[in-house]
A and B are shown apart, each in its own frame.
Chain A
Amino acid sequence: MEQITPYIWEIPTSYKKGMRVPARIYASEKLLKDMDNGVFEQVTNVACLPGIQKYSFCMPDGHWGYGFPIGGVAAFDAEEGIISPGGIGFDINCGMRLVTTNLTYREVRPRLKELIDTLFKSVPAGVGCKGFVKVNKKEFTDVMLSGSSWCVEKGYGWKADIERTESYGRIDWADPSKVSEKAVSRGIDQLGTLGSGNHYLEAQVVHVKHIFDPETAKAFGIHTPEQVVIMVHCGSRGFGHQIGTDYLRVFEGVVKKYNIEVRDRELMCAPFRSTEGQDYYGAMACAANMAFANRQVILHRIREAFEKVFKTPAEKLEMNLVYDVAHNIAKVEEHEIDGKKKKVVVHRKGSTRAFPPGHPELCKLYRKAGQPIIIGGSMETGSHLLVGTEQAMRETFGSTAHGSGRTMSRAAAKKQVHGESLQKAMEKRGIYVRAVSMSGLAEEAGMAYKDVDEVIETVHNAGISKKVVKLIPCGNVKG
């Protein structure tokens, strides 16, 4: 492995037979040392896939996943390349949403428990949870086609939420005819639900010392010391999971047909322009739109909970959406490759889009500042808000990290800590947690994750995004 800069490490094509491009890992020396070997195997397996451009990337929060590493980014030629469900993940458009309030921690603290208890009741979480939005099949098809817009039309949100969502909360190549009945019946009752695992809803505080870029923070709606914000992490629920499962089996049957050699069954893929590739792309977009709608409905419930607890309309509480980002998705984007603009299918699996100031895809509001990037840390340590850069466009197809990344397995975490004692210890430190599953809570303990600040320093110093604000948790709802 060759060190290219203090934060970029390259694995040359000579590492493995079949590598079409080198692999590049963004990491500090410490993060690289702690990465499992599986990451290096997986990032180089991706480098063997047809049509891959420039490099197969892994972000500093990277860890061993299935198919692609988590933290993997790869762009494939839109004409000659492939699309792979393993480069997106089963939780299609798993993503983050950040909402401001004009309340300070001093105002929220006396009612924190009431607030978190209310949120716990209004946003269903855990195994088998059903959402409060009841839709029929026709309406669910509209959700697949319209995403966040469907919610706003139905009164679950504000018009301004739309432009503050990646792809304006609606991916327009969605094709419901490519989605199975099974996927529909798995997801139709789940609009407005969190799920479990590492998904959460969190109340967070902005301390003055954590505002690194006051001007950009202000542009994003963060302006007051001790301001309270809300962060949400979830995806397309059973609907997306079923689409991922369905197409993994479809693609398994077509790799031979298209004579594609894959090194891992989770890297099953099809040429992007093939019927199967386009079918998956259309179905994936339906799941992506459902995920945008899911987080939009959750935002609506969060606003209702605040209105109930603080007896003030959400508008007056300035509960504005900062942004909604997807971190498990594939999209056709135009990037400059060898001096020429080219259309590529960018796969981000555990990676966030990081578009710079001036990018035409961004809404007017953020055109000058750049795209907000929401990075969820562990529930004990904190999360970050960053902004996209030109350098990310040049180097990583406009992509950056997505979280802090796990370092410890779920089983190992549970051996070290019990859910109940963790809940009590966190409360002592000022973080009030409500969880459906106590074992699930233990699995998400802070010690199971990498140091989020080290990840953020890496992407900041590497230049693929810039620090804006660090957010400290004070309340958490988990599945």
Chain B
Amino acid sequence: MGKYKIIDDVAIADVAFEIYGKDVNGLFENAALAIFEQSADIRTIEGKKRESIALESDSLDTLLFDFLSELLYLKDAKQLLGKKSAVSITQSNKKYSLKAEIAGDTIDQRKHTLKSDIKAVTYHMFKVEKTKEGWAAFVVVDI
């Protein structure tokens, strides 16, 4: 089981990811990685800039949607090009809480090998599910 896979010919003008994780935290971290690697060659990112994310949601799938949307927000509002993330999700009273630390760089077109400026996370075929091996998600982003 890899971290994620790009699924061809699902979203012609966009990009579809199938994402895997041993546990929910790993799933969210790999989903973030899919976003980071779609935005830039992460080997060109040092990872010295830090940002924190804290979110709450009623369900895991809306939590993932909000988390990934937050990464796109940070890219534009804080100029953060992510390299990796550390995610911790807890559940109490039917609410899921997420805390994440993102490591990346301030975007520098001379230094970084850039790819796509992702517009948004879509709900198209969006899915988070428990599998035999752990967890899986399906996410299509608008390019």
Chain A interfacial positions (CB closer than 8 Å to B): 36, 63-67, 70, 89-91, 126-129, 182, 185-187, 189-190, 195-198, 237-238, 241-242, 244-245, 248-249, 252, 264-266, 268, 406-412, 436-437, 439-440, 443, 479
Q: Given that A127-B40, A128-B114, A407-B12 are known contacts, is A186 also in contact with B6, CB under 8 Å in the complex?
A: no
Is B81 a contact partner of A245 (Cβ separation < 8 A)?
no
Which residue of B40, B72, B81 contacts A241 across the interface (Cβ within 8 Å)?
B72
Whether a CB of chain A sits under 8 angstroms from the CB of B89 is no
Is A249 a contact partner of B62 (Cβ separation < 8 A)?
yes
Contacts of A197 in B (CB 8 A): 13, 116-117, 119, 143
Q: Given that A126-B117, A187-B76, A197-B117 are known contacts, is A66 also in contact with B69, CB under 8 Å in the complex?
A: no
Contacts of A244 in B (CB 8 A): 120
Contacts of B46 in A (CB 8 A): none
Is B115 a contact partner of A127 (Cβ separation < 8 A)?
yes
Contacts of A127 in B (CB 8 A): 39-40, 75, 81, 107, 109, 114-117
Is B120 a contact partner of A412 (Cβ separation < 8 A)?
no
Which residue of A65, A128, A242, A406 contacts B107 across the interface (Cβ within 8 Å)?
A128
Q: Given that A66-B140, A182-B77, A242-B73 are known contacts, is A196 also in contact with B117, CB under 8 Å in the complex?
A: yes
Contacts of A242 in B (CB 8 A): 73, 76
Is A90 a contact partner of B124 (Cβ separation < 8 A)?
no
Whether a CB of chain A sits under 8 angstroms from the CB of B52 is no
Alpha-carbon distance between A198 and B124 when the two chains are bound, in angstroms: 20
Contacts of A245 in B (CB 8 A): 69, 72, 120-121
Contacts of A237 in B (CB 8 A): 76
Alpha-carbon distance between A40 and B69 when the two chains are bound, in angstroms: 29
Is A182 a contact partner of B73 (Cβ separation < 8 A)?
yes
Contacts of B107 in A (CB 8 A): 127-128
Alpha-carbon distance between A412 and B6 when the two chains are bound, in angstroms: 11
- 26 example contacts (A-B, Cβ-Cβ < 8 A) are as follows A36-B12, A64-B11, A64-B12, A65-B124, A66-B124, A66-B140, A90-B142, A127-B115, A127-B117, A128-B76, A182-B73, A182-B77, A187-B76, A196-B116, A198-B13, A238-B73, A242-B73, A245-B120, A264-B124, A266-B122, A266-B123, A410-B13, A410-B143, A411-B8, A443-B116, A443-B143
- Chain B residues 1 to 28 lying within 8 A of chain A, measured CB to CB, are 6, 8-15
Shortest A252–chain B CB gap in Å is 8
Which residue of B14, B66, B77, B121 contacts A185 across the interface (Cβ within 8 Å)?
B77
Proximity bits, B66-82, A CB within 8 Å = 1, else 0: 10010011011101010
Known: A242-B76, A245-B120, A249-B65. 7 other contacts (CB 8 A): A90-B122, A127-B81, A128-B107, A190-B76, A197-B117, A410-B14, A411-B8
Q: Given that A244-B120, A245-B120, A437-B116 are known contacts, is A412 also in contact with B9, CB under 8 Å in the complex?
A: yes
Q: Given that A127-B115, A190-B76, A412-B8 are known contacts, is A268 also in contact with B143, CB under 8 Å in the complex?
A: no
Shortest B28–chain A CB gap in Å is 18
Contacts of A436 in B (CB 8 A): 109, 114
Contacts of A189 in B (CB 8 A): 76
Contacts of A129 in B (CB 8 A): 109, 117
Whether a CB of chain A sits under 8 angstroms from the CB of B96 is no
Across chains A and B, which 8 residue pairs bring their CB atoms closest together, nearest first? Answer: A128-B107, A66-B124, A238-B76, A265-B123, A90-B120, A196-B117, A186-B76, A185-B77
Q: Given that A196-B117, A409-B12 are known contacts, is A248 also in contact with B123, CB under 8 Å in the complex?
A: yes
Shortest A405–chain B CB gap in Å is 9
Contacts of B39 in A (CB 8 A): 127
Contacts of B119 in A (CB 8 A): 90-91, 195, 197, 241
Is A128 a contact partner of B79 (Cβ separation < 8 A)?
yes
Alpha-carbon distance between A241 and B122 when the two chains are bound, in angstroms: 11
Look across to chain A and name the residue whose beta carbon is closest to the beta carbon of B39: A127
Whether a CB of chain A sits under 8 angstroms from the CB of B135 is no
Is B124 a contact partner of A67 (Cβ separation < 8 A)?
yes
Shortest B78–chain A CB gap in Å is 8
Look across to chain B and name the residue whose beta carbon is closest to the beta carbon of A195: B117
Is B123 a contact partner of A409 (Cβ separation < 8 A)?
no
Q: Given that A186-B76, A244-B120 are known contacts, is A66 also in contact with B114, CB under 8 Å in the complex?
A: no
Shortest A155–chain B CB gap in Å is 26
Shortest B140–chain A CB gap in Å is 6
Contacts of A190 in B (CB 8 A): 76
Is B75 a contact partner of A66 (Cβ separation < 8 A)?
no
Contacts of B109 in A (CB 8 A): 126-129, 436
Q: Given that A66-B142, A437-B115 are known contacts, is A410 also in contact with B120, CB under 8 Å in the complex?
A: no
Is A410 a contact partner of B15 (Cβ separation < 8 A)?
yes
Look across to chain A and name the residue whose beta carbon is closest to the beta carbon of B107: A128
Look across to chain A and name the residue whose beta carbon is closest to the beta carbon of B65: A249
Alpha-carbon distance between A187 and B77 when the two chains are bound, in angstroms: 7
Shortest A158–chain B CB gap in Å is 29
Shortest B17–chain A CB gap in Å is 11
Shortest B45–chain A CB gap in Å is 12
Shortest A63–chain B CB gap in Å is 5
Chain A CB within 10 Å — which of B39, B73, B114, B117 has the most?
B117
Contacts of A64 in B (CB 8 A): 11-12
Alpha-carbon distance between A89 and B13 when the two chains are bound, in angstroms: 13
Alpha-carbon distance between A128 and B74 when the two chains are bound, in angstroms: 10
Q: Given that A127-B116, A437-B114 are known contacts, is A186 also in contact with B73, CB under 8 Å in the complex?
A: yes
Contacts of B113 in A (CB 8 A): 437
